[in-house]
Structure 1
Amino acid sequence: MGTTVKKWAALVAAGTCAIGIVGAAHAEDTKISLGISGWTGFAPLSLADKAGIFKKHGLDVEIKFIPQKDRHLALAAGAIQCAATTVETHVAWNANGVPIVQIFQMDKSYGADGIAVRNDIKTFADLKGKTVSVDAPGTSPYFGLAWMLNKNGMTIKDVKTTTLSPQAAAQAFVAGQNDAAMSYEPYLSSVRDNPAAGKILATTLDYPMVMDTVGCAPTWLKANAAAAQALTDSYFDALAMIKADPVKSNELMGSAVKQTGEQFAKSAAYLRWQDKAANQKFFAGELTAFMKDAEKILLEAGVIRKAPDNLAATFDTSFIK
């Protein structure tokens, strides 16, 4: 990790990455670089950007599309101050020496993540010895595969894995490559739309373990509480816009991932964005319970070598009150 972090640091030093102004007292004084991916659940952040919601809250937000496997490197180097990712990934980053504090929940997957298999594969037991295309260790698809296998009495070692991003995994599968693929929306729909290529063996409807939160570097968060609050409020305002004007919202969110509004709405039907009440309920107990379960899978899969010292330090509920 050290070499890659140094590369990010070099970019920062060269002035090619935006850095938040440490010590800013007001949200309008702060520039935030926010790391995300094209995952459908992160789209309200793109909406907040495109619809001027961030600006309304006095924020200057630069959204950076960074692969999940690299997002913690950007965070460690200071190239981004905050990042959206799955809960277990926050656990892994903290366990592996890249501290991040979760401040609000974005979404829960209701079928938006899943494993595609060839039509002759009937059960998880049939996957033994088969080749599964999946993103790198430390990513949501890798964790999802490990979780599903674990719940079926198997481990990652029972299958052969080939590393492909969620988009590439779905594309390769539809093209006839590999026996199975872990992916998520909007890319998983390409499999749904090509039944001759294969089928979806299981999704997060069967194994509910994909939930996303936004977190920030603890030192930045301490110095920029007003900006973090404005970021949280912007997310909830984006949800309000989606409810008030779904057609326009879907068009804007779809444009960030080269989808039409109609295509985006289809992908978004497989997840649920979480409003303030849902956030408060989630952070009250469900979050910690899930992190404890996730620790076991992360350890078994070799993603982490030890659990974080203090799970309570990995989240802050003050921004959703």
Structure 2
Amino acid sequence: MMNRRSLLAALAASPSALALPAHAQAAATKIVFGYTAVTDFASVFVAAEEGAFKKRNLDVELKFIPLNSTIPAALQSDSLQIGGPTPSVFLQAVDGGLDLVLVAGGGLTSKTITAFGLVARAGSGIRSAQDCVGKKIGVPGLGAFLHVTFRAWLKDQGVDYRKVSFVEAAFPQHADLLRGGSIDAVVSADPFMSRITDSGAGYVASYYSTFLPEGNQTIVHAAKREWVQKNPAAARAFREAVQEAAAFMQQPKNDARVRAIIGKYIKLPPEVLAKVQISPPGPVVSDKQLTYWVGLMKEQEMLKTPIDIAKLVVK
């Protein structure tokens, strides 16, 4: 019979008895992540499909959210643990009293990107900022990125955005609303923008986004401060996974794979996937980037309280 000392020695020599890594011993942290149908979430999609989350012991479920402006409420109710509001939606939520922080970032503005713009209804005659006065324009989220930046463009062109009527309309509704004549134009983005123009329901009146400065966040990844405080390692691991995915995206050899992954999550057909523009990834949010958004929103009288930017980004 094997004595105790011999048994311990045998166990120590057995590969199956070797200590498991710390991350394998603990249960994976469950995160429900909310996204909308834009390529600015590509780094999260890639992190999910290329195993960057899994190898960091994160169980991330990606959940489609039709309207970006509803993401903060979903975070507050714990329907989501992390979600991707636009910077303006995030800052409005903070201004309104929600205790949210940023754990990572999504896409960045770039003057090379013409994947969103003002799409006018066929026959509307809209060609310029001045032509928008008195018109009804759909935006995929009141107070969200496209709404705020479009109003900034109108102001830059000398137009009072208060003379334009804005209505909230999710991306998938844009073509039908234009076709039905209930609105005059939409501020839209690909692939929906291309589908509208290809169908003849509308035309691009302006790729207004080219007036925006380079390198500002278009999407930020937010969570409740309370969740981050309870799960600091998971929040850090999420950011690291998105950084790894961003590095993957920036390698030209991975372009086809990245496009295929995007197509899985925002349901793009192959012909659209092949030409869709992908926003540059910006996985780390800086105070400077948020400062730009605070300034833009103050100009539009969207913030009622002082915003302490230094307390909003998890380092």
TM-score (norm: length of structure 2):
0.79
Between 1:93-102 and 1:253-262, the stretch displaced more is 253-262
Cα offsets for 1:253-304 (capped at 9, x unmatched): 21111114552342234x21236xxx4xx6163x1431332231452xxx54
The SS at the match of 1:215 is strand
What code does the residue aligned with 1:129 have? G
What code does the residue aligned with 2:259 have? N
Structure 1 residue aligned with 2:244: 237
The separation in 1 between residues aligned to 2:34 and 2:290, in whole angstroms, is 23
Structure 1 residue aligned with 2:35: 36
The runs of at least 4 consecutive aligned structure 1 residues that moved more than 6 Å come to none
Task: Note closer, same or farther for the CA distance 1:171–1:307 as it changes in structure 2 (3 Å cut).
Answer: farther
Cα offsets for 1:118-156 (capped at 9, x unmatched): 573232111111121223423223223322222223344
Task: Note closer, same or farther for the CA distance 1:40–1:57 as it changes in structure 2 (3 Å cut).
Answer: same
The SS at the match of 2:127 is coil
- What is the number of residues matched between the two proteins? 282
What percent of counterpart residues are identical?
Answer: 23
Determine which of 229, 232, 235 is the counterpart of 1:228: 235
Task: Note closer, same or farther for the CA distance 1:315–1:191 as it changes in structure 2 (3 Å cut).
Answer: same
Question: Shift in Å at residue 193 of structure 1?
Answer: 3.2
Structure 2 residue aligned with 1:45: 44
Asked if residue 114 in structure 1 is aligned to residue 117 in structure 2, the reply is yes
The SS at the match of 1:85 is coil
The separation in 1 between residues aligned to 2:245 and 2:51, in whole angstroms, is 10
> Where do residues 1-321 of structure 1 align in structure 2 (5 Å cutoff)?
29-66=28-65, 67-109=67-109, 110-118=113-121, 120-173=125-178, 178-193=183-198, 197-208=202-213, 211-242=218-249, 243=251, 244-260=253-269, 263-269=272-278, 271-274=279-282, 279=284, 283=286, 285=288, 287-299=289-301, 303-304=302-303, 306-316=304-314, 318=315
Contact 1:106-1:273 within 8 A present in 2 as well: yes
Between 1:215-224 and 1:149-158, the stretch displaced more is 149-158
What code does the residue aligned with 1:307 have? T
Structure 2 residue aligned with 1:21: none
The separation in 2 between residues aligned to 1:162 and 1:284, in whole angstroms, is 31
Contact 1:192-1:200 within 8 A present in 2 as well: no
The SS at the match of 2:85 is strand
Between 1:158-167 and 1:239-248, the stretch displaced more is 239-248
Runs of 5+ unmatched residues, structure 1: 1-23
Structure 2 residue aligned with 1:10: none
Question: Shift in Å at residue 221 of structure 1?
Answer: 0.9
Contact 1:104-1:213 within 8 A present in 2 as well: yes
Q: CA RMSD in A?
A: 2.7
Task: Note closer, same or farther for the CA distance 1:241–1:171 as it changes in structure 2 (3 Å cut).
Answer: farther
Between 1:210-219 and 1:187-196, the stretch displaced more is 187-196
Structure 1 residue aligned with 2:10: none
Question: Shift in Å at residue 201 of structure 1?
Answer: 1.4
The separation in 2 between residues aligned to 1:288 and 1:247, in whole angstroms, is 32
Question: Shift in Å at residue 47 of structure 1?
Answer: 2.5
